[in-house]
Amino acid sequence: MLRRTGYAVVVFLVVAFATNVFAQGTSAKVDYPKKPINTLIGFAPGGGSDVMISMVRPHLEKALKTTFVPVYKPGSGSDIALMELSTSKPDGYTVVISCTPQVPINAYVREAGYKISDFAFVANVVTDPGIFVVRAESPYKTIADVIKAAKEKPGTLSVGVSSAPGDDWFAMHMFEGAAQIKLNIVPFSGDGPSWQAALAGHVDATSNNLSIVYAQLRAGKLRALAIMTDQRSPIIPDVPTFKEMGYNFASGSSRGFSMPKNTPKAIIDIFAGAVKQVMNTEEFKAIALKTAFPSDYQGPEEYTAYIKKLDTIYRPLWDKYGKSPDAAAK
Amino acid sequence: MDLFSGLIHGFSVALTPMNLLFGFLGAVIGTIIGILPGLGPLGTMALLLSLTYGFDPTAGMILFAGIYFGAMYGGSTTSILLNIPGEAASVVTCIEGYQMARRGRAGAALAVAAIGSFVAGTISLIGLSFLAPTLANAALKFGPPEYLAVALVGLMIMSRLTGGNLLKSLMMIALGLALGTVGMETVAGYMRYTFKQPLLAQGIDFLPVAMGLFGISEVLVTAEEPAGNMQLQKVRFRELWPTLVEWKRSFWPIIRGSFIGFFVGLVPGPSPVIATMVSYSVENKLDKSGEFGKGAIEGVAGPEAANNAAVGGAYVPLMALGIPFTPAMAVVMAVLLIHGITPGPLLMSENPDLFWGVIASMYIGNFMLLVFNLPLVGVFASIIRAPLYLLMPIVLLLCLVGVYSVNNSILDIWLMTGFGLLGYLLRRLRYDLAPLVLALILGPMMERSFREAMMISRGDLSVFVSRPISGTILLVGAIVLVAPLLIAWIKPLISRKA
């Protein structure tokens, strides 16, 4: 019996510590990677970060000839994982799945334990566009219907969002500003509960992300009224953008890879190059289109600039609506 | 494809040697991780996720179904033997299961849990095959007001769960609810009681608390016992199995637990936990033996059936609508996504092979679990024959490694240690620990659904009674609460007249 328990302990220790054992070792300059890469994931298994890493991981492992070890550090809107990255060795063997809007806004709205300048943004993988959705039975057929209803009874049309301050939450405040309306924005505990509430009619609409509601759109259970991109999405080309209707805003939730600051540029370039190469293969593109995985590769410079830009958009919105939600509700 | 041809087709897909192997592997892995405290089905499935890219999606789904069912069963083993709930859904099993083990009936408790899990799993799968589309739509009707109603009634059940001192139970519930408020509040992201510690921002997780309160405190209590009592009763092999009387007593609790578990499992949130609580209190109310609290087999059979049936229930919204109500279901969904399949309302018509194959494989996995686990009952039951001076340090070590492995967080180790000491004190003062843990799980859900409901209704409290489902749940709850008082008041009046 003890032997059996012994085996169990050994198996267990291997699983538990496999994630950390590889963290030690020497750093390479150009010969990268030489060992497994720890991937910090700031959300519980099953979230969008998980889907992202699962989609690219098998391909990326082949391209880089190494393995990715997922290390879950869920909690506090990914702050815990980001904090861990900020104190990790800048040797390219610790990466984080960095998600917007948590990066950059968390560090602004609260005591986060790290600064945005602690990171080197390596490559963006996906930008899941924001999308305005109602259920199939809803009387609202177009955005014009929604705006009309919101103007008739300001503050009563309820729109579910994933959380505050989440990308959907920012998006709806941008929409309010652009259309000069007042909505009843209801933060849920995630994308899922938000669209499910809209599907069941608990709220009038949901501001959500394309890949999350795609299956329901295709089955005709939910109806998309407008998408928050610059151009129409190839995944659902029939849905108009807010911009083409004259409401000048775009929004989405991006996920990519980041490393600690001072990571050698050679390593960042090797990693970003592999991500780019993987995302350009026909096999990957085919799966991405089928599962509504909105690929959006951005290299190191572009990705860094993107994060900076988001920071300047989000800060004033948070100051206006977020700092004191009670005051904003009036 | 109608149901029967669908199922038959499903079995023809699932019954390949390769898929059977995956089903068996899943059951084995699930049982092991269920037994080891800490790393649960969620973490395990996430670690294996990208491995499934190399398999056929049906095989991946079969593997994960085996792990999920296996973990639900395995979790009860440590609850019964060592008083350590490896899963939230096995907290309730500790109450009677561990008492049975102390009386030398560990084998009986384990065997009843295994059979109960199998029966419940089968009943819930039949429910899943026949009723999935209908039930999934009904499950959607549960909005924030309904969750609050469910959680409130859950709290009420909890206050009388173990039948001890009401005041003490209420104090434990209040403490659990208070602990549940620590961390980042979900609606606006404000920090509460975090003292600028980013690690506390994620709140106090259930697992370190439960493992500390139950497991660590058990080690402490055992260490305190005089050396002469250190050896628990020897168990002879013949006594490993439940007696005929014990089977009879378990039959109806298993059936009731299965139905309770399946229907409660449809509701999002910590449904397996609520299912076990409901089943336990039902059995407690119906009990005539007076053994509850001292190791009543009904208190193991019912909740164990309920938590397994809830797993089947949780698959309903996933398979029929593509809604993962629990994080574990979201990982299952990711298996499909990486293969380019979008789970959703069209899954059944677009991928009938997969849909029916998975359902058929769940029947197979459930059966394998029984085949794999029944012979092990004797082995596990003999664990407690090991000298306690060897067993308890191993338990301590497993708890430490296990709790760390979940979030890779040192804070969790400290939390577990602290709650272990607290648990020891509370047990010495004769407080029930289960209400504290269960309130910690339900508290955040209650707060969130209350605030969501208030935002939707723009502050109108009447939503809770004017909506048919939440109104009915609250009414039933009120009746359950008031009826005993009313009966106690009327009875003397009637007997005086007679």
Query: Mean pLDDT across chain A, nearest whole number?
Result: 86
- Number of structural domains (chain A) is 2
- The CATH number of the domain where A12 resides is what? 3.40.190.150
Tokens 């510690």 sit on residue:
B197
Confidence of residue A121 (pLDDT cuts 50, 70, 90): very high
Burial state string for B186-216 with b = 16 or more CB within 10 A and e = fewer than 16: bbbbebeebeeebbbbbbbbbbbbbbbbbbb
Give the rounded distance of the alpha carbon of A242 from its chain centre: 20
Other C-beta atoms closer than 10 Å to the C-beta of A33 total 19
Q: Are residues A53 and A170 in the same domain?
A: no
Q: Are residues A245 and A269 in the same domain?
A: no
A249 close to B (CB below 8 A): no
In whole angstroms, what is the distance from residue B418 CA to residue A174 CA?
46
A-to-B residue pairs, Cβ atoms closer than 8 angstroms: 202
In whole angstroms, what is the distance from residue B171 CA to residue B317 CA?
36
Structure tokens at B494: 């009637």
In whole angstroms, what is the distance from residue B276 CA to residue B304 CA?
7
Within a domain: A322: no
Residue A134: beta bridge partners?
A223
A80 close to B (CB below 8 A): yes
Phi, psi values for residue A258, rounded to 5°: -135, 155
Q: Which of A212, A236, A252 is the last residue of a domain?
A: A252
Contact state of B456 with A4 under an 8 Å Cβ cutoff: no
Within a domain: A210: yes
Confidence of residue A25 (pLDDT cuts 50, 70, 90): very low
Reply yes or no: is the peptide bond before residue A101 cis, omega within 30 of 0: yes
In whole angstroms, what is the distance from residue B183 CA to residue B192 CA?
5
Structure tokens at B475: 């009414």
Higher pLDDT, B237 or A309: A309
Interface pTM, i.e. ipTM: 0.75
Tokens 């030690």 sit on residue:
A24
Mean pLDDT, residues A91-102 taken together = 93
Q: Are residues A239 and A269 in the same domain?
A: no
Q: What pLDDT score does A327 carry? A: 41
Structure tokens at A214: 């795609």
Query: Mean pLDDT across chain B, nearest whole number?
Result: 82
Q: What pLDDT score does A328 carry? A: 41
In which element (H, E) is residue A186 found?
strand A184-187
Q: Which of A252, A284, A307 is the last residue of a domain?
A: A252
Within a domain: A324: no
Contact state of B191 with A110 under an 8 Å Cβ cutoff: yes
β-bridge pairing A119-135 and A295-298: antiparallel
Q: Are residues A42 and A100 in the same domain?
A: yes
Q: What pLDDT score does A4 carry? A: 52
Phi, psi values for residue A120, rounded to 5°: -110, 120
For residue A285, the chain B residue with the least C-alpha distance is: B340
Query: Cα distance from A71 to chain B (closest Cα, Å)?
Result: 8
3-state helix, strand, coil in chain A (%, to 5): 45, 20, 35
Task: Say which of B43, B47, B187 has its CB closest to residue A187.
Answer: B187
Percent of chain B predicted with pLDDT > 90:
11
Contact state of B452 with A200 under an 8 Å Cβ cutoff: no
Q: What pLDDT score does B230 carry? A: 46
Flag whether pLDDT at B405 surpasses 70.
yes
Flag whether pLDDT at A19 surpasses 50.
no
Contact state of B456 with A203 under an 8 Å Cβ cutoff: yes
Within a domain: A330: no
Burial category of B171 from C-beta neighbours within 10 Å (exposed 0-12, middle 13-18, buried 19 and up): middle
Set of chain B residues whose Cβ sits within 8 Å of the Cβ of A61: 50
Structure tokens at A206: 């949901």
Confidence of residue A28 (pLDDT cuts 50, 70, 90): very low
Mean pLDDT, residues B32-40 taken together = 76
- DSSP secondary structure of A138-152: -S--SHHHHHHHHHH
Q: Are residues A102 and A241 in the same domain?
A: no
Mean pLDDT, residues A281-298 taken together = 89
Of A146, A189, A137, the closest CA to residue A168 belongs to A189
3-state SS assignment for residue A314: helix
Q: What pLDDT score does A24 carry? A: 38
Which letter does DSSP use for residue A76 in this model? G
Q: Are residues A115 and A262 in the same domain?
A: yes
The model's pLDDT over B176-234, given as tens digits with 9 standing for 90+, comes to 999 999 987 766 667 788 887 767 777 888 888 988 898 898 889 888 876 544 455 55
The lowest-confidence range among A3-12, A264-273, B25-34, B344-353 is: A3-12
Of B188, B139, B89, the closest CA to residue B447 belongs to B188
Phi, psi values for residue A154, rounded to 5°: -60, 135
Please report how many Cα atoms fall inside a 13 Å half-sphere around the Cα of residue A168, on the Cβ side: 27
Of B17, B37, B14, B156, the closest CA to residue B88 belongs to B37
Task: Say which of B321, B386, B452 has its CB closest to residue A1.
Answer: B386
3-state SS assignment for residue A307: helix
3-state SS assignment for residue A130: strand
A327 close to B (CB below 8 A): no
Within a domain: A158: yes
HEC string of A233-288? CCCCCCCCECHHHCCCCCCEEEEEEEEECCCCHHHHHHHHHHHHHHHCCHHHHHHH
Flag whether pLDDT at A170 surpasses 80.
yes
The winner for highest mean pLDDT among A152-156, B63-67, B356-360, B383-387 is: A152-156
- The CATH number of the domain where A191 resides is what? 3.40.190.10
Q: Are residues A160 and A104 in the same domain?
A: no
Mutation site, A202, A218, A285, A318, interface B, largest B CB count within 10 A: A202
Flag whether pLDDT at A159 surpasses 70.
yes
In whole angstroms, what is the distance from residue B413 CA to residue B97 CA?
26
Q: Are residues A53 and A115 in the same domain?
A: yes
Q: Are residues A92 and A195 in the same domain?
A: no
Within a domain: A325: no
In whole angstroms, what is the distance from residue A134 CA to residue A223 CA?
5
Mutation site, B31, B49, B318, B413, interface A, largest A CB count within 10 A: B49
In whole angstroms, what is the distance from residue A196 CA to residue A202 CA?
9
The lowest-confidence range among A63-67, A254-258, B372-376 is: B372-376
Mean pLDDT, residues B380-393 taken together = 78
HEC string of chain B? CCHHHHHHHHHHHHCCHHHHHHHHHHHHHHHHHHHCCCCCHHHHHHHHHHHHHHCCHHHHHHHHHHHHHHHHHHHHHHHHHHCCCCCHHHHHHHHHHHHHHHCCCHHHHHHHHHHHHHHHHHHHHHHHHHHHHHHHHHHHCCCHHHHHHHHHHHHHHHHCCCCCCHHHHHHHHHHHHHHHCCEECCCCCCEECCCCCHHHHHCCCHHHHHHHHHHHHHHHHHHHCCHHHCCCCCCCHHHHCCCHHHHHHHHHHHHHHHHHHHHHHCCCCCHHHHHHHHHHHHHHHHCCCCCCCCCCCHHHHHHHHHHHHHHHHHHHHHHHHCCCCCHHHHHHHHHHHCCCCCCCCCHHHHCHHHHHHHHHHHHHHHHHHHHHHHHHHHHHHHHHHCCHHHHHHHHHHHHHHHHHHHHCCHHHHHHHHHHHHHHHHHHHCCCCCHHHHHHHHHHHHHHHHHHHHHHHCCCCCCHHHHCHHHHHHHHHHHHHHHHHHHHHHHHHHHHHHC
Other C-beta atoms closer than 10 Å to the C-beta of A249 total 17
Residue B117 gets the label, from left (phi > 0), alpha (psi -120 to 50) or beta, of alpha
3-state SS assignment for residue A209: strand
Give the rounded distance of the alpha carbon of A266 from its chain centre: 26
In whole angstroms, what is the distance from residue A296 CA to residue A282 CA?
15
Higher pLDDT, B328 or A265: A265
Set of chain A residues whose Cβ sits within 8 Å of the Cβ of B38: 16
Residue A207: beta bridge partners?
A132
Contact state of A55 with B337 under an 8 Å Cβ cutoff: yes
Flag whether pLDDT at A27 surpasses 50.
no
Mean pLDDT, residues B453-460 taken together = 88
Q: What pLDDT score does A31 carry? A: 85
Higher pLDDT, B252 or B357: B252
Query: Cα distance from B331 to chain A (closest Cα, Å)?
Result: 4
Structure tokens at A283: 């096999």
The domain of A162 spans 129-252
Burial state string for B401-413 with b = 16 or more CB within 10 A and e = fewer than 16: bbbbbbbbbebbb
Query: Cα distance from A308 to chain B (closest Cα, Å)?
Result: 22
A45 close to B (CB below 8 A): yes
Q: What pLDDT score does B218 carry? A: 85
End-to-end CA distance of chain A: 66
A51 close to B (CB below 8 A): yes
Q: What angle do CA A46, A283, A302 make, to 5 degrees?
A: 70
The CA–CA distances, whole Å, from B324 to A142, A280, B388 equal: 29, 30, 42
Q: Are residues A224 and A186 in the same domain?
A: yes
Q: Which of residues 101-120 of A touch B (CB under 8 A)?
A: 109-113
Burial category of B427 from C-beta neighbours within 10 Å (exposed 0-12, middle 13-18, buried 19 and up): middle
Q: Are residues A201 and A312 in the same domain?
A: no
A6 close to B (CB below 8 A): no
Q: Are residues A265 and A228 in the same domain?
A: no
Confidence of residue B45 (pLDDT cuts 50, 70, 90): confident
For residue A215, the chain B residue with the least C-alpha distance is: B344
Burial category of B449 from C-beta neighbours within 10 Å (exposed 0-12, middle 13-18, buried 19 and up): buried
